[in-house]
Structure 1
Amino acid sequence: MSNRELIVLGTASQVPTRRRNHNGYLLRWDAEGLLFDPGEGIQRQMLLAGVAASDVTRLLVSHFHGDHCLGVPGIVQRLSLDKVAHPVHAHYPASGQHFFERLRYASSFYETTDLREEPVDTDGPFATGPFGLLETRRLEHPVESFGYRLVEPDGRRMRPDKLAEFGVSGPLVAELSRAGTLDVDGRTVTLEQVSEHRPGQRFAFVMDTRLCDGVYALAENADMLVIESTFLNQDTEFATRYGHLTAAQAARVAAESGVRRLVLTHFSQRYPDPTAFHAEAAEVFDGDIVVAEDLARIPVPKRAT
C-alpha cells in the first residue's frame, strides 16, 4: 500500500510569525522522503511533526535565500548525529554551490552520513529510481531558482472481474504482471486482457518565482501542486517586483494546468487571515484548495481513473 503525503514543516516567507515557521516540506513517497527547502527551526518542526532524520532520502533546495536554506546545517549534522545509514542525495542550483558548501560545513561535527551532492543547472530530468523521474525547471526570481517535479511512470491496474473471467488467481497474477503473458488451461492470457491503464502520479513543488513558462511546465497535470502564494491580488505589483506569486496567480496556474490538489504556502507576514488566500484562489480555481498550515499532513490524492 502506498504511503504518499506532504508533511508541512513551515509556511512563512521571509519573516516567520508566531504561527508560521520558516519553510520546510517533507514529501513521503513510498520508500522516499524528499525534504524541500529547509529553513530555520526545521529540526524542531520535524520533531513536532513526528519526522525522523532517517526519513530523509533526498534534500532539495530551490534557491539560496535564507528562509529556504538556513536549516541545511542542522539537517546535515542531524543526519550524522542519528547515524543515518542510507545515502542522502542533495539537489540545489549549481550556481549556489559555494553557499551549499558553507551551509554543509557551517560548524564542526563528526560527519558519518553519505551525503551526495548532485547540483542542478539545466531544465529536465536529473534523477531516476523506483519512485519514477525527478525533473526541474528554472524559475524567475532575483537569484537563480529551480522548481521540482516528481513523475511516476504509467502502469497497469488489474481488474478483478477480468482476472476471474480468464481464470487467473493467486500467484499467477504476479507472474502475469511480471511476464506480460501467461498460459492458462491451454490458452494465452495477456496482461492487456485483464488490466487497464493506470496513469502515474505527479507532484510539483514551485517556490519563489514570478509567473513564467517554468511554473506551467512543472504544474502540468500535477496530482498535487505545492506553490508559493506570498501575496494577495491587492499586492500584485509587489509580487512582480520581488519575484513572487499571488494566490490568484497560483490558482490560475492550477486551473490552466489540470492540477487536482492545489496547496498554497509561503505566506507574507503582512496577512493575518489565511482564509483570504483560499477565498482569492477559489475565485479562479474550482478544484481542491488547501491553505497550508504548519505541521499539517496533506495526502496526495488517490490515483486518477
Structure 2
Amino acid sequence: MSGRELVVLGTASQAPTRTRNHNGYLLRWDGEGLLFDPGEGTQRQMLLAGVASSAITRICLTHFHGDHCLGVPGVIQRLSLDGVAHPVVAHFPASGREYFARLRHASSFHEIADVREEPVERDGVLATGPTGVLEARRLDHPVEAFGYRFTEPDGHRMLPARLAAHGIAGPDVGRLQREGELAVDGRVVRLAEVSVPRRGQRFAFVMDTRLCDAVHALADGVDMLVIESTFLAADESLARTYGHLTARQAGAVAAEGRVRKLVLTHFSQRYADPTRFAAEAAEVFDGEIVVAEDLARVPLPRRRRSA
C-alpha cells in the first residue's frame, strides 16, 4: 500500500468562515485521485495544499448545492490550463445534468482536457478497476444526493518465511499472485500455502443527508468514513428539517458500522469550538475521531495484520 490519504481542502457548510473554506476533499489512493464536492475556492486550496490538478482522476459530486459544486468551473478549467493528459471522469446526480453543464462551461476557456461525464442514475457500481470499486447510494436530502464508497478488492499478504522455504523469490512472487499457483522444483506451490487473506481497504464519503439506510450501508465496515456533522445534538431538529446529521448521529453510524477512523466535517458556522463535535461523537463511538481542518492530510489507517 502506498499513497493513501485524504487531503482536506475545505470543511465549512453553507457559509465559509475565516478558517474554513467551502467543501473539498481529495482521496489519494495509489495512482487514483478522487476529488469529492469541490466547493468555491477549491482551486486555490489545492495550491495551498500542494495538490496538482494532474492528481485528479475523478470528480465526484454528492449534490448540486453551491458549497459542494461551485468550485467545479475553476477545477475543470485548471485541468486544461495545466494540460492534464489523462481522462478525468465526472460523477454527479443525473437530475443535475443541466447544472453540471453550466458549471463546466461557466466562462470562455480553451478546453483541451478530456473530462468524461458519467452521471449517477441510481444506486450501484459506477466503476471497477484494479485499485478498487466505486459505488454510489442515494441519500436523504431536499435535493437529489448520493454518497460514495470505494472498496479495494480482497487479496493476499505474502509470508516471506514460507516463500523462502519454497524457494520462491523475485518475479516468481508476482507470477504466483497472478496465477494462483507456481511450479517449483517439480511440485506445484499454491498461493494459499505462502500467504494469508488480506481484506481490501474501504472508504466512504457521506455528505448532506438525514439518517437513512444508505448512510449505514455506505459506512459499513469501512476503514475511513468522511461524514458531515453539520449540527450538534442540541440542534437535532434543525438537522432533520434541513436534511443533515449531528455529530452524535455520525458517531452512532460509525459505531454501528464498525468504522476504524471517523472524519467529521461540514460544520455549521454557528459553532465556534470544533472540539465539541469530537466530544459528542465520542459519547457513542470509541474509535479514532478526526475533526477535519482545512489543508490537513489524514492517512488511511494501516492495515490490520492478518493472522
State TM-score, norm by structure 2.
Answer: 0.98
Q: What is the match of residue 228 of structure 1?
A: 228
Q: Does 1:275 align with 2:275?
A: yes
- SS for the counterpart of 1:59 is strand
Q: Does 1:96 align with 2:96?
A: yes
**Which letter maps to 1:27?**
L
Q: How many residues align?
A: 305
Alignment of 1:56-67 (within 5 A): 56-67=56-67
CA apart distance, 1:162: 1.3
Alignment of 1:121-200 (within 5 A): 121-200=121-200
**How many Å separate the matches in 2 of 1:5 and 1:44?**
20
Q: What is the match of residue 78 of structure 1?
A: 78
CA apart distance, 1:76: 0.9
CA apart distance, 1:101: 0.4
Bigger drift between 160-169 and 140-149 goes to 160-169
Q: What is the match of residue 106 of structure 1?
A: 106
Q: What is the match of residue 7 of structure 1?
A: 7
**How many Å separate the matches in 2 of 1:168 and 1:83?**
44
CA apart distance, 1:279: 0.5
**Which letter maps to 2:183?**
D
Q: 5+ unaligned residues in a row in structure 2: which ranges? A: none
Alignment of 1:12-23 (within 5 A): 12-23=12-23
Deviating 4+ runs (over 4 angstroms): none
Describe the superposition over 1:16-55 as per-residue Cα deviations: whole angstroms up to 9, x where unpaired.
0000000000000000110000001111100000001111
Q: 5+ unaligned residues in a row in structure 1: which ranges? A: none
**How many Å separate the matches in 2 of 1:70 and 1:177?**
44
Describe the superposition over 1:248-295 as per-residue Cα deviations: whole angstroms up to 9, x where unpaired.
000000000011000000000000000000100111100010000000
**How many Å separate the matches in 2 of 1:218 and 1:167?**
43
**How many Å separate the matches in 2 of 1:151 and 1:121?**
20
**How many Å separate the matches in 2 of 1:120 and 1:175?**
37
CA apart distance, 1:168: 1.6
CA apart distance, 1:171: 2.6
Q: What is the match of residue 49 of structure 1?
A: 49
CA apart distance, 1:225: 0.3
**Which letter maps to 2:115?**
L
**Which letter maps to 1:165?**
A
State TM-score, norm by structure 1.
Answer: 0.98
Bigger drift between 168-177 and 125-134 goes to 168-177
**How many Å separate the matches in 2 of 1:201 and 1:90?**
23
**How many Å separate the matches in 1 of 2:179 and 2:56?**
34
